[in-house]
Chain A
Amino acid sequence: MPDPSGFDAAHPPTTHIVATVNGRKVARTVPIHYRVIDFVREELKLTGNKEGCGAGECGTCSMFVDGTLIKSCLAPVQKIHGRTVETVDDLDADQGMTVIQRAFHKCGASQCGYCIPGMVMAATSTLRKRPRASLDEIKEGLGGNICRCTGYQKILDAVAMARDVLNGTRPETDLEEAATDSFIGSRTRRLDAPAKVTGAIKYAADLWMPNMLHMQVLRSPHPHARIQRLDVGEARAMPGVECVLTCDDVPGVDNFGVFIEDQPIMARGMVRYVGEGIAAVVAETADIAREAVKRIRVTYDLLPGVFDPFEAMKEGAPQLHGFAPGNICKHTRIRKGDVEAGLGEADLVVQETYRTSALEHAYLEPEAGLAYLEPDGCVTVMSPSQNITHHRHMLARILGRPINKVRMIMSTVGGGFGGKEDMLYQGMLALAAIRTRRPVRYVFTREESIAASAKRHPFSIDYTMGLRRGGLIVATRMIMVSDGGAYAMSTPGVMNKSAILGPGPYTIPNVWVDAIGVYTNNTPSGAFRAFGAFQSEFATESHLDLCAERLGMDPAQLRRLNLMQDGATTHTRQPLDRVAATACLDAALAAARWDPGVPHREARGEPARIDLGGPGTRAPCTLGLGTMATDKETT
């Protein structure tokens, strides 16, 4: 029976597409709603080009159609009927690597590698159109492709190098690996780079196994609710649906977490944030699974939520977890000396509050995974996990299996930044493979990734610092309150690190630090580059600038005065043998051509800084005007 929406996922209307793809004629009958990217990846299994956003923003799917580079996630498959398609998979025409790919390899222009196939395609398009492209034109040509970890400089270097080699103004030998004695300061070959620049490397979403099933997950639209009734009958009865999983299907201990075991793999009677998984559907196609998810009926008993950590700590606030009174997830304290006495002795006391926001990791590879059973019954999960050993331990407990019957394989991580450290979906996948005895793949959409995955902890930092007139710090008090979201995930670790590193690499006799991670009904906060240190260090360094201004002092000098030296003891009483902080600061100041003085001196009517701009600094962007001027105007 067709769905009321009119779409019968089990029997979608089809279309016949004939096209030339990478020099080979192909003729296939595919679902009529396929996009070009679906045709190439799912039908032809050419997985060199990736899908990062599905909305034309990231460029991982860039392909040539009749020689014109387009975003293949924006094009209905009918757009390639009778046309010629080139993907990154065969760009080298079976010759190994193109000059552009070799230049990417040589320049180290691949890190996670997920954006690189798209980048290579955009670079190829740019140099085909304009063999002598200027740097501005290269930037413009690559403007539709996003990288999140390489940093664009190496990519731009690579395209410029390829351009010069192709034009013969630079010898091809420059693309070869330089023989050096030292790894330090030299371009060293990355073992996985050739596979990344050619698109040959497989990420989890590129994996395919015979007889494979597809998973989709029902997610909560409510931040805080009790699940009164969960009816999966209609979904389960749909043709093509292999199984529907809920928390009732978990055989072992459904309570996991890196630091605090507070999380079920799917909501167990309660939902605590928008996007929390409630049930998982496994079906013959992802489309059927999606349709089946819509037929799961859930009755919620809505509960008041709490969305601010300060509110969550108040008496009478909704409590998220029975074991955490006051919604306190983690309270880390550092006490050294007597802060009150220290502040009393100070000539200057500066108080300020700093806030940071939640941040999305936005790795280019959305979460994905493939789970299957080995012939010996060992369940295997391949996913871009940044913490596979821990995930394996947690999985064994959830699945109620001995650890030797659980295997985690870390697939190539298309960017993680900490966001793939906390386990999110691997449990559902493993369960699905065990239940169906077939391989099961699950690929997040970008929207799902943003809704369900952990964010950087937002902090509110109340900072008080006491200093001597000459600039010596005598006391620091930091009270940090952070929104940990609905589940602990990495919150305890993040609190610890923000506290330990918070006061910075400075010698301070009196230190008081409180780092409090609080449960709320927001998306869970988790690991993110710097793991908490970023937030507290931001406050400390901002605060030192503020203090320098109040003291009428050069901010670099204020730091030099207070930096730890050889033999220092950290705020948590670890003795340090050697400390290179001052040398590091001096080197940075020299490199930046630091112009000493009080911060914000232009506002005081004093002369402007002289260390901004100048040789070696990046020129401002002139795109648009830049590319206009070169050839378009003169046509």
Chain B
Amino acid sequence: MLTFDRYVTATTLDEAFDALQATPGARLVAGATDLLPWAREGRAGDVHLPALVDVGAIPALTAVTGEDGVLRIGAATSIAACERHPLLLRDAGLLARCAVWFADDQIREQATLGGNLVNASPAGDTLPALLAMNARVVLAARDGAGIRERAMPLADFITGPGRTRLGNNEILVRIDCDAVPGHGGAFEKVGHRRSLVISTVCLAVLARLEPARRTLADVRIAIGAVGPVPERLGDAETALRGQRPTPAAIREAAVLAADRVRSRSRQEYRREVLVNFVERGLVAALEQCGLAVQRLPQEIVHA
């Protein structure tokens, strides 16, 4: 059970910092969907905190804007907003594809993008999608009377399962990422069931063709749940960039993903799924760019 002495619903960033400063050991919440299950038997158990500081309703943290090819997404933007915010649908369609697979309809309304990043679960669903969009996290801290911001690539922010570079008196306020209106996108996920499932493997792909539509101008592949931190498949991206996306080239790139599986369990299964996901994800992303690529037929082996 979770107990605490104070609950502060902040309406401005200043109020949130005031509360953090006044109560050492206070914990930030936004959607709070992970917090209550965490404070139960089998996980953290009974937890008592001096204060909860709710930043979910601070307008600056739920704003979504974009200019010059950069999307600025408030950290408390709900996962559900990814499915319906016009700007996100236009410039970050990949997030909607990811959101469809995230928890369930009801939790998507509460859970936030920033919360998913701060939790830093190796299986966090939005992480591969944001990595593929070259996301940078913006962390704010109070500096005298003002607020000082620092930014870093998402890949650097997450350092291990549940571990980030978020400082004690910092708040994750925003995620800046590439607007990718012309890219095809795909999100793949497998788990034990359809809804409310923790990923066993998840994958995000972005792809864009040259104007002549023959070669790949840009391709980005990010994987999650197969190792301690989600990561990009740099070698597969390099192998494909500037190339014609033939079935054989896609297969070759997909196979490169096999040795990225560093999970503690079910490695063989994850390798097979991951390689197939990379292949299927690339084919699906290209299909959105208007290019139909056949997957190479696979030999069916019966046990």
Contacts and interface: CB of A to CB of B under 8 A. Distances in A.
Interface of A: 5-7, 12-13, 15, 32-33, 35, 54-57, 59, 62, 68-71, 73-76, 78-79, 81, 122, 125-126, 140-141, 143-144, 287, 290, 294, 445, 447-448, 600, 602-603, 621, 623-624, 627-628, 632-633, 635
11 contacts: A12-B3, A13-B6, A79-B54, A140-B195, A143-B104, A143-B196, A144-B104, A144-B195, A602-B302, A623-B194, A624-B100
B100 A79 contact: no
Given A290-B1, A628-B96, 5 more contacts: A33-B2, A56-B196, A74-B33, A447-B40, A447-B42
A621 B110 CA distance: 26
A73 B36 contact: yes
A6 B36 contact: no
Contacts of B3: 6-7, 12, 32-33
Contacts of A600: 302
A294 B276 CA distance: 50
A49 to B, nearest CB: 12
B106 A33 contact: no
Contact of A143 (B5, B33, B83, B105): B105
Contacts of B29: 76
Contacts of B33: 56, 71, 74
B104 A445 contact: no
A287 B2 CA distance: 11
A144 B110 contact: no
A448 B83 CA distance: 37
Interface residues of B, number: 42
A35 B7 contact: no
A69 B4 contact: no
Contacts, number: 127
B5 A13 contact: yes
B84 interface: yes
B52 to A, nearest CB: 7
Contacts of B101: 624
Interface in B1-59: 1-7, 9, 29, 32-33, 36-37, 40-42, 46, 48, 50, 52, 54
A143 B195 contact: yes
Contacts of A69: 105-106, 109
Contact of A78 (B41, B54, B109, B196): B54
| Most chain B CB within a 10 A radius of its CB, from A5, A73, A624 | A624
A137 B240 CA distance: 36
Nearest to B33: A74
B105 A55 contact: no
A137 to B, nearest CB: 10
Contacts of B9: 78, 81
B107 interface: yes
A12 B105 CA distance: 33
B89 interface: yes
B133 to A, nearest CB: 18
A55 B37 contact: yes
Contacts of A56: 33, 36-37, 103, 107, 196
Contacts of B69: none
Interface in B256-284: none
Interface in B100-142: 100-101, 103-107, 109-110
Nearest to A604: B302
Contact of B52 (A71, A76, A125, A447): A76
Contact of B109 (A13, A68, A632): A68
A140 B105 contact: yes
A447 B103 CA distance: 21
B290 interface: no
B97 A628 contact: yes
A74 B106 CA distance: 10
B86 interface: yes
A370 B37 CA distance: 26
A81 B56 CA distance: 14
B105 A144 contact: yes
A35 B101 CA distance: 26
Contacts of B93: 633
B298 to A, nearest CB: 15
Contact of B32 (A79, A603, A623, A628): A79
A32 B194 contact: no
A62 B109 CA distance: 12
A74 B36 contact: yes
Given A76-B29, A632-B96, A59 B48 contact: no
A281 to B, nearest CB: 15
Contacts of A68: 109
A125 B107 CA distance: 13
A70 B32 CA distance: 12
A616 to B, nearest CB: 22
B297 to A, nearest CB: 16
Contacts of A15: 7
Interface in B55-90: 83-84, 86, 89
Contact of A74 (B37, B48, B302): B37
B66 to A, nearest CB: 16
Given A73-B36, A143-B195, A144-B195, A33 B107 contact: no
